[in-house]
Amino acid sequence: MSADVPLVETEGLTKFFPITRSLGEIVGGHAGRQVHAVDGVSLTIRAGETLGLIGESGSGKTTFGWVLARLHSPSGGTIRFEGQDVTGLSGESLRSWRRHVQVVFQDPVGSLDPRLKVWQIVGEPLRAQADMARRDARAEHRADVPKRLSKADLKAKVREILPLVGLPPDCLEQYSHEFSGGGRQRISLARALSVNPKLIVLDEPTSALDVAVQAQILNRLVELQRSRGISFLLITHNVAAVRFVADRIAVMYLGQLVEIGPVRDVLEHPLHPYTKALLAAVPVPDARRRQARYRIGGDVPTLIDPQPGCRFAPRCPFAEDRCRAADPPLVPAPGRPGRLVACVRVEEIGDVPPEALRNPAPTPTAAAPSTPALS
Amino acid sequence: MGRSPSDLAIFIGKRLLQLIPVLVGIILLTFIVTHVAAVDPCARWYPKGSPATIAHCQAQFSAPILTQFWNYFSQLLRGNWGASQLGQPVFPAIIAAVPATLELVLASLFLMIVIGIPLGVIAAQYAGRWGDHLVRVFYLSGWATPTYVGAVIAAVFLAKAIGLPSSGTFSSPPPFPQYTHMSVIDALIAGNIPYTIDALEHLILPASVLAFINMGIATRMTRASMLEVLPLDFVKSARMKGLSNFGVLYKHALRNALITTTTVLGVTAGGLLAGTVVIEEVFAWPGIGEYAFEALGGGGQPNFDGAIAVVVVFAIAVVLANLIADILYGVLDPRVEWR
């Protein structure tokens, strides 16, 4: 693979969920409405990099990760993996492609089958992929049909994987419920690593864990990246984790990407008003900086059949008519290499500090201080 | 407490000990029904009895209650469960009828599992769509069918239409010894293939009717617990592993959903046994159900002791079925500790 072909490239990726119509609506001939969970996201993930994806709850970041891993079929747009279009993969070809992309889920309890032992959980993807390879070899009448993985082979392979995530190799015969939350998340990580994927989608992998265990898991991720060159898509609302692990950061709001760029640059100089608001809402231990915190008011607009125009406009203190006229394109930010931002007024807003955003009241809803939508 | 084999043995032992008070309770209940609550029981149960029989019966009932209970209890324990009006002892007759009923119930349980549970998976997979509705129509019509209606329709019309026998266990008396008194198993032991097929043909209609009527509970429980399991992340994990749709649904989702279904199947034991009373009579199946029907006066010869014996046997069977379901529950769910 040449260096300029990104590992993953999405273009205008969308995922709409239809809303079930009531009987009255069907009889009345109402058109079906849709939730625009992911609405035209274009981004790239390079080989060996970690992209952090942050946003509020309900911003569509988890849905985006699942669509990227083809747990959901996209409603529109394309996903290219190593330059090859994988949007339409289905059936056998989708199953065999799955070895390249794995997902670690948020809930360390729910994501492990309670009926399986550790070696079965971690070994099952290996066996599934080995079985598919065997079948392909037989179908092509090749002479070198690989042998079926025996239980002992599988256990031996799992035994090699477990130390990578900091689990003792002798826990093969244990069930997942015998582990703590951190231990279970390590099992999930081992399961994801087992097939040697090129991309792991980490869906809030540490949000259910305590701070010390979070740090251990994040350290593990950094080590794995260095030693194996795996790419990560880290979906989280933990800005500190992103700062620690990620190379680049992408910010989502209501199904759309508002900003993307190198992690330090974005966190220190957020350009999009939403990013500024989101980062200002992160608690900081410094009392002087806490003074500078501000809140954005207004209600989170609905994701059901949204109006055209910037999604953030109803809550944005800088919004004007042209913001509401059309979706702002995600374009390179002037003077800031490697950064893209979707805001038509980005140059005018410039580096206005969050403090200056506190009082102006361009819209009636934004003036209501009693609605701390972000805090 | 744990999950080692010795823990399992202790668990089963404890549950068997718990059977004792349950059985004493059942015997007390049947005693009250037969000896305390009955008005002039001797005349009712021996309408054509000789004066000697009536006098013997009345002598029993004139003793003090506790003496009566002790007599009743000790006779039961000694296997002396009384006799029919024709003098045929109840205990050996009941024991001889157990295998046939067991065969019928196991066959319909098998049908409930291999048909009812996959139907539940299909219903969950297509929840709210046509597949779901079709499955619901199927199991609700089974549920709503009175046993005697279903049995008669199957024995009279269906049997003719598809050319299956509707009476007894074999078409002609088998030439081999019947060790287990379960028709299919005996024929298999004898290695007699034509007789095995014949026995299966006799078994299929009564077992299907019994299964059809009781299947709804298995389908419905499977559907409900599948709907609970399917959205969980471990099902998505299974998909990410590259498993086929079948593997995801049946290997991961269903195996976890079955934990609830198993418990409910234990509860259906009562329904299945109740169904055998009518079904065995209609299909002339030589089991406890048929015996019960006859004992209750279905053949014009009420059999007081036999009817009571059936209650006791059914009660033991229901308790044992639930014990087996409890053990299976623990085997299926590794998080359960034997206690």
If pLDDT is split at 50, 70 and 90, which confidence band does B330 have?
confident
Is B240 within 8 Å of A98 when comparing Cβ atoms?
Answer: yes
Q: For A17, phi and psi rounded to 5 degrees?
A: -110, 125
In chain B the domains, ranked by start, together with CATH numbers, are 5-77 (no CATH), 90-332 (1.10.3720.10)
The closest CB to that of B239, out of A71, A191, A195, belongs to A71
Backbone angles phi, psi at A241, to 5 degrees: -65, -40
Checking ipTM against 0.85, whether it exceeds it is: no
Across the interface, do B252 and A113 touch by the CB < 8 Å criterion?
yes
| Confidence at residue A358, expressed as pLDDT on a 0 to 100 scale | 45
CA nearest to A66 within chain B? B236
For residue A247, what pLDDT is reported? Answer: 93
Averaged pLDDT, B10-20: 86
Measured in degrees and rounded to the nearest 5, phi and psi for residue A71 equal -80, -30
Residue of A nearest to B245 (CA): A91
CB contacts of A111 in chain B (<8 Å) are 232-234, 236-237
Which of the four pLDDT bands, split at 50, 70 and 90, describes residue A296? low
- pLDDT average, residue stretch A111-115: 89
pLDDT at res. A353: 56
Q: What is the mean pLDDT of the segment spanning A259-275?
A: 90
Residue A362 is predicted with a pLDDT of 46
Please tell me the predicted confidence (pLDDT) of residue A370: 43
Is the pLDDT at A180 greater than 70? The verdict is yes
The Cα-based distances of B109 to A23, A49, A157, B218, B251 in angstroms read 39, 56, 41, 10, 21
Average pLDDT score over chain B: 87
User: Which contiguous run of DSSP H or E holds residue A225?
Assistant: helix A211-228
pLDDT at A169 over 80: yes
Burial of B148 (0-12, 13-18, 19+ CB in 10 A): middle
**Least Cα separation, residue A102 to chain B (angstroms):** 6
Q: How far is CA A71 from the centre of its chain?
A: 13
pLDDT value of residue A356: 56
Rg (CA), chain A: 23
**Dihedral (CA of A355, A360, A362, A365) sign:** positive
Residue of A nearest to B259 (CA): A115
For the packed helices B304-332 and B90-111, what is the interaxial angle rounded to 10 degrees?
A: 40
Encode pLDDT of A249-263 as tens digits: 999 999 999 999 999
Averaged pLDDT, A325-340: 88
Which residue in A110, A117, A8, A109 sits closest to A53, CA to CA?
A: A8
Average pLDDT of the residues in B42-64:
78
A292 — pLDDT class (breaks 50, 70, 90): very low
pLDDT score recorded for residue A142: 81
A102 in Cβ contact with A192 (< 8 Å): yes
**To the nearest whole angstrom, how far is the Cα of B238 from the nearest Cα of chain A?**
8
With beta carbons less than 8 A apart as the criterion, state whether A343 and A247 touch: no
Please give the pLDDT value at position B287: 92
Contact call for residues A161 and A122 (beta carbons, < 8 A): yes
The strand order across the sheet containing A331-332 reads: A101-104, A199-203, A231-235, A50-54, A248-253, A256-262, A340-341, A331-332
pLDDT tens digits along A6-63: 899 999 999 998 887 777 777 777 777 888 899 989 999 999 899 999 988 888 899 9
Give the phi and the psi of residue A116 in degrees, each rounded to 5. Answer: -110, 150
Q: In what order do the strands lie in the sheet with A8-18?
A: A34-45, A8-18, A76-81, A84-85
User: Is residue A36 within 8 Å of residue A305, measured between CB atoms?
Assistant: yes
Judging contacts by C-beta atoms under 8 Å, the chain B residues touching residue A68 are none
Smallest Cα distance from A38 to chain B, Å: 19
What is the overall mean pLDDT for chain A? 83
More confident residue, A292 or A336: A336
Residue A371 binned pLDDT confidence (cut-offs 50, 70, 90): very low
CA distance A336 to B104: 79
B140, pLDDT greater than 90: yes
Report how far apart, in Å, the C-alpha atoms of A324 and of each of A109, A297, A308, A330, A362 are: 43, 18, 7, 15, 14
Of A110, A128, A195, nearest to B232 by CB-CB distance is A110
Average pLDDT over residues A98-107: 90
Q: What is the mean pLDDT of residues B67-72?
A: 86
Q: What is the pLDDT of residue A70?
A: 92
Distance from CA of A71 to the nearest CA of B (A): 7
Least confident of A64-73, A259-268, B40-49: B40-49
What's the DSSP call for residue B328? H
DSSP B232-298: SHHHHHHHHTT--HHIIIIIIIIHHHHHHHHHHHHHHHHHHHHHHHHHHHHTT--SHHHHHHIIIII
pLDDT of A197 strictly over 70: yes
**Angstrom distance (rounded) from CA B148 to CA B294:** 15
Q: Does B48 touch chain A (CB under 8 A)?
A: no
Whole-number percent of chain B with pLDDT over 70: 98
Provide the pairing of β-strand A340-341 with A331-332.
Answer: antiparallel
> Residue B101's closest CA among B310, B286, B305?
B286
Nearest CA to A14 out of A345, A246, A327 is that of A327
Residue A218 parent element (H or E): helix A211-228
Closest CB to B243 among A114, A128, A177:
A128
Tokens (6 digits) for B280: 């065995």
User: What is the rounded CA–CA span in Å between residue A118 and residue A178?
Assistant: 10
Region B94-116: what's the mean pLDDT? Answer: 93
Strands A34-45 and A76-81: unpaired
